[in-house]
Chain A
Amino acid sequence: MAEEVKTPAPLPPPEGEKKPTAEKPAAASPAAPAKPAAPAAKPAAPAKPAGPVPLPWTSPLVEKYKSQYGSGLEAQTYLGQNYLTVDRSLIPDILRRLRDDEQFDYCVDITAVHYPKREKPFDVVWILYSFPRNERVRVKTQIADGASIPSSFPIWPTANWLEREVYDMFGIQFDGHPDLKRILLPDGWKGHPLRKDYGILQQDKEWVQINLGIESGQ
């Protein structure tokens, strides 16, 4: 099966970095008052191609949090879906309050997105749902490569495997996770496949050689 695809040497990382300029509007860092540079990100938003654009999201929940956390938090809605872009430092606080005060009792998913060209290349995304309110919200934060983030396992036990998968695929560390290790890939594997610099044909050849006793078919 592997025979016919033998030729190409490990692909250069290309694919992922297709459009570094097309920064997602949501990714624009919240205009923190401390950083005078941040407002520069604002004018970039209108220069979007045609299509729906994220609108500001207003609700009592947002008002309350805005008044408390100020510019560390940005609330938007895109195609009817609400999301909060929050500062990394607010993370355990806001998630816990969303569960305890706002009844977001079900953590649907935790995942990440890699933007290699950005200063803080990772978006970590929590998708939350509230049974009593029948409402969804997404929480996003940006973190730097190699930085860690507090685990949400104490808030939602379901985060256990979800965070392990994010660690496995992106190499993001979760502080306070009870058992942070690879989940889908073998323990000794090198690299984190869902990073954009990991090519689609790339493989841990050494692992394959040692554990399977064959030359890597890629």
Chain B
Amino acid sequence: MSEPKDAIVHSLSNLDLEAPEKPYLDSNELIINMGPQHPATHGVLRVILKLDGEKVLGTECVIGYLHRGVEKIAENRTYTMFNPYVDRMDYCAAVSNGLGYCEAVEKLLNVEAPPRAQYIRVILTELQRIASHQLWLGTHALDIGAMTPLFYTFRDREEILKIFEKYCGARLTTHAFRIGGCQYETYSGFEKDIKNFLTFFAPKIDEYETLLTSNRIWLERTKNVGVISGADCIALGVTGPVLRASGVKWDLRKAQPYANYSKFDFEIPVGTNGDTYDRYLVRMAEMRQSMRIVEQAVGDIPEGPIMGKVPKVIKPPVGEIYHSIEAPKGELGYFIVSDGSTQPYRLRVRPPSFVNLQALDLMVRGALVADVVAVIGTFDIVLGEVDR
């Protein structure tokens, strides 16, 4: 355990972007800049690359272009007012962000959402996970050179966004949940829409797979690219599908169940090699598992209220709490310190993309420039969440 870790410490602390000490043959090392305006960086990520020909010797990420000071804003808003802001962090998975935040505040208040709300939450969050993975798949494949999957995934993602829109009126920044339950009761036909989606979508995943899984170019571009071991993932705090593709069977929905995930039957897909291809397979399998969860949940949504007993003015007692959920990108945590007033004294967001992105340097060292694009894509980062 300690050995690989020390190796990373060594390699990371040696990152040196100054002029090279000794030239390799007579070629000079080259420092080039990628981004922040670059279509393959999924937003405004700037990566400084140190190259020897086509080979990457080291990288440094420059982030913060989308920094909005979300944590500072939180200290100046009431708990309820801050709720819509979390949708704007990982704007590709707004529902998941909202679930994490609402549950954290509920824990601090020591209340629980009623069962009906829990079911609606699980259904929407799992649909959001599918939508987030679809967006990832389309853009990731596009980065690598396969254009067709983008159209397929966006076509099908639309169906999920339509359900969101019918439920809460918004497609991206949904603000679907409230502290203590759900914002809205389901519309008539909600369950039917979701069942229709499930039957519609099942063959579509197979369709994506026919395009990529055994495509020779896809295999060449993703197999053994951006390899990271499970031990390195843990040392670097990497979570989510990236961790699971490296063989660590860990999912917060199983490890420390929140909402009512313990009621549902699903598997944690894992990979073995920890390369870009395995991360692709893990996410594809996760979409299928999410469908399983939605299928089970939609069948028996209980009747009852959708809001728990929460006071109109939310004033949690003095104390602090850390609560995290398994967002599509990894562990999304909220650390809230309350001083007994209506506004959080301190609200810290632990964003999965920010922490995962740290592993980029380790994963692309020794690889080719073109692989950097593949590796950035495979993390599934959203810069809104990295920078907050």
Contact = CB atoms under 8 A, between A and B. Distances in A.
Contacts of B333: 108-109, 127
A111 interface: yes
B320 A184 contact: no
A157 B319 CA distance: 29
A156 B6 CA distance: 9
B258 interface: no
A127 B335 contact: yes
B387 A49 contact: no
A218 interface: no
Contact of A22 (B235, B255, B335, B340): B340
B72 A194 contact: yes
A81 B321 contact: yes
A15 B343 CA distance: 10
A27 to B, nearest CB: 10
Contacts of B255: 134
Contact of B322 (A138, A157, A158): A138
Interface residues of B, number: 54
Contacts of B234: 105-106, 131
15 contacts: A18-B339, A19-B341, A49-B318, A51-B317, A79-B110, A108-B322, A109-B333, A109-B348, A111-B348, A134-B255, A157-B9, A157-B235, A161-B354, A184-B63, A184-B387
Interface in B103-137: 107-108, 110
A66 interface: no
B210 interface: no
A159 B13 CA distance: 12
Contacts of A154: 9
B75 A185 contact: no
Nearest to A161: B358
A178 B10 CA distance: 10
B234 to A, nearest CB: 5
B276 interface: no
A178 B13 CA distance: 6
Interface string A3-40: 00000000000011011001011100000000000000
Contacts of B190: none
Contacts of A16: 75
A156 B317 CA distance: 33
A65 B345 CA distance: 30
A19 B75 CA distance: 13
B9 A108 contact: no
A193 B346 CA distance: 12
Contacts of A160: 12, 358
A138 B340 CA distance: 21
A113 interface: yes
B237 interface: yes
Nearest to B230: A131
Interface string B215-236: 0000000000000000000111
A157 B10 CA distance: 10
A178 B340 contact: no
A48 B76 contact: no
Contacts of B343: 18
Contacts of B317: 49-52
Summarize B's interface: helix, strand, loop or mixed.
mixed
A62 B12 CA distance: 33
A125 interface: yes
A78 B237 contact: no
Nearest to A196: B75
A49 B13 CA distance: 48
A118 to B, nearest CB: 13
A184 B339 contact: no
B318 A48 contact: yes
A108 B237 contact: yes
Contacts of B76: 15, 200
Most buried by B among A48, A178, A184: A184
A134 to B, nearest CB: 6
A18 B235 CA distance: 38
A79 B321 contact: yes
Contacts of A111: 335, 348
Interface in B228-269: 234-238, 248, 250, 255-256
B295 interface: no
B249 to A, nearest CB: 10
B302 interface: no
Given A18-B339, A131-B248, A162 B322 contact: no
Contacts of B238: 158
A98 B159 CA distance: 47
B371 interface: no
Interface in B297-321: 317-321
Interface in A102-144: 105-109, 111, 113-114, 125, 127, 131, 134, 136, 138
